[in-house]
Amino acid sequence: MCVDLGKKLAFAELVETALRPVLVSSSKKKLVMAELTVPWETRCKLAHERKRTKYAELADECGIKGWQAWIFPVEVGCQGFPSQSCWRMLGALGITGKSRKTTIKELGKEAERAFHWLWIHRGESS
């Protein structure tokens, strides 16, 4: 996986941990941990704290080894409401203005579409 966000950041490596894949820049000793959760809108804050706690130990270990680590637990409510964490993550990664607004809108649409699909197929056993 390679990421180049408007020529601002470039992560050329993907490291797999026991938790999730992590984006890494070895030359700059930086890593980004992002995990999406799609809870009910009323449970976004709880989901955020649970994911932050899950990655805290890994971030601490990275800091001890001289790496700069960011944890981005992000939530998009299952009915299409992107939480503040989505805005914060995109801004921190250098995605701002119209690009960020468009991305947030698309996140919401996709979550709503997936929720609708699940609702339609709720009676199926497979």
What's the 3-state SS for 25-89?
Answer: ECCCCEEEEEEEECCCHHHHHHHHHHHHHHHHHHHHHHHHCCCEEEEEEEEECCCCCECHHHHHH
The one-letter code for the residue type at 80 is G
Whether residue 37 is contained in a domain is answered as yes
Whether residue 62 is contained in a domain is answered as yes
Structure confidence at residue 97 as a pLDDT band (50, 70, 90):
very high
| The predicted structure's pLDDT at residue 21 | 56
For residue 58, the enclosing domain spans 3-120
Whether residue 30 is contained in a domain is answered as yes
Structure confidence at residue 1 as a pLDDT band (50, 70, 90):
very low
Pairing of strands 30-37, 68-75: parallel
Query: What count of other Cβ atoms lies within 10 Å of the Cβ of residue 95?
Result: 19
Choose among 33, 20, 39, 96: nearest CA to 62.
33
Whether residue 110 is contained in a domain is answered as yes
In the predicted structure, residue 103 carries a pLDDT above the cut 60: yes
Q: How many domains does the chain have?
A: 1
